Amino acid sequence: MSPTLSKKILAWYDNSKRDLPWRVSKKSPKKLYYRVLSEFMLQQTQVKTVIPYFKKFTKKYKSLESLAKINENQILKLWEGLGYYRRARNLLASVKLLVKKYDSKFPKNFEEVKKLPGVGDYTANALLGFIHNQPTLAVDGNVKRVFARYLNKKETKIDFKKLISFNRKSLFITNRNSDFVEALMEFGALICKPKDPKCSHCCLKTSCKYLKSSKKIKTKNEKKVKTINYDIFCYINKKRQIALTKKNEVSFLKNFYLPPIKKMRNNSNQNNWKFLKNYKNSISNLKLNINLYYKFSNKIPQSYYWHSINSNKEFMPSFTRKIFNQVSTLF
C-alpha cells in the first residue's frame, strides 16, 4: 500500500476535520481524561449525540481524579438518556483503576490496556494511538469501509490485522500516528460514507480501485432494524406513584427497575387493565411498538416497590422516563 495514502488522508484531515471538544493538543493535560471519557461515550453512539453529554461531564468533573471520586448512582444520573448504561459503569471502574493503580497515567502495553473494564481491541488501539501516539489502528466500520473500497474487496475477504501489520511502515510514515488513527475514521465518516460516498471530493480518487472498477464491491450493510412489540402494565395509585420491578422480559434493560413488561402475545390477557396509549420508541437498532396499560391499585406484588412519578432525583433510564411521562397524563 502506497505511503501517499497516509499523506493524502492527513492533508485532507488538516483541512476538513470537525471541531470536536475532546480533540485537544497532544501536550494538553486534559488529553488522557478527554480521550478516555469520549471513547467510552462513543461506543455504539453517534458523535452528535455524545457532544452535549461530554460537555456536561467535563463541566461538572474537571479531571480524571474528580470523576474517580463519584459513585455509580452519580455517574448513571449524569449519563441518563445516553443509553447502554454498562458503559457508564465500565467508565467509572476504569477511571478509578487508572487513578489508583496507574497514578492517573495511561498504560502503554496493549494487553494491560485491555484489562480495563469495558475495553476491547478497538478501544485499546484507539486509546494507545490517541494518548501515546502509537502506530495502532482502531478498526471500526468506517476504517474497514475505506480499505475495502480502496482495494475494491469485500470486507469479509480482508484480514484487517494482516493488512495493517504488512503495511505498517507505509501507513505510519510520520510522527503523527494519533492524527492518522483519527483521520482515517473521520474520512470514513464524512467522505467514504456507507451510502452515497463523496467520491468526487475524495483525496484518494486517483488510486482508489473502487472508483476505477466497473464491478464495484458492495459495502457491508448497516444492521437491520428489528421491531419488537411490548405490553407494559402500570400499577399506579392516587399518590402519583408507579410500581416498579426487575422482573421483566426486556433484555436490553437488565437489572433496572421498570413497570412489568411483557412481549405482546395474541392471546395475552389484559383483563382489569385499562388501555392508555400505543407509542413507539427506538433503542439502537431496535424499534419498539408499545401498548401501555394501567390500573389504579393500593396493592402490588412482593417484588415490586412504589416510585414517585414526579421524582427526578434518582437515575432512571430514558425508556422509563417516557413511561412516566405517559402515565402522568392520568393525573
Domains 27-132 and 226-330 share a fold: no
Amino acid at 99: V
Please identify, in words, the CATH class of the domain defined by 226-330.
alpha beta
Instruction: In whole angstroms, give the CA distance from residue 57 to residue 51.
Output: 10
Name which of 27-41, 125-139, 282-296 the model is least confident about: 282-296
| C-alpha span between 54 and 52 (Å, rounded) | 5
Cell of 126: 484507539
What is the mean predicted confidence (pLDDT) over 171-197? 90
Q: Where are the domains of the chain?
A: 27-132, 226-330
Q: Are strands 286-296 and 274-283 parallel, antiparallel or unpaired?
A: antiparallel
Decide: pTM greater than 0.75: yes
DSSP class of 114: T
Q: Which residues are catalytic?
A: 39
For the stretch 259-284, pLDDT in tens is: 999 888 765 667 789 999 999 988 77
Q: Identify the pLDDT of residue 223.
A: 62
Q: Is the dihedral of CA 82, 85, 89, 94 positive or negative?
A: negative
The pLDDT tens digits of the residues spanning 55-104 come to 999 999 999 999 999 999 999 999 998 988 999 999 999 999 999 999 99
- From 3.20.190.10, 1.10.340.30, 1.20.5.510, 1.10.10.10, which CATH number describes the 27-132 domain? 1.10.340.30
Q: What is the pLDDT of residue 316?
A: 83
In the beta sheet, which residues pair with residue 229? 289
DSSP H helical segments within the chain, as ranges? 4-16, 31-42, 47-60, 64-68, 72-79, 86-100, 110-113, 121-132, 141-151, 160-166, 168-171, 177-190, 209-212, 318-327
Q: Which residue has the cell 467520491?
A: 199
Share of the chain above pLDDT 90, in %: 64
Q: How do strand 274-283 and strand 241-244 relate by DSSP bridges?
A: unpaired
* Separation CA 238–CA 175 (nearest Å): 66
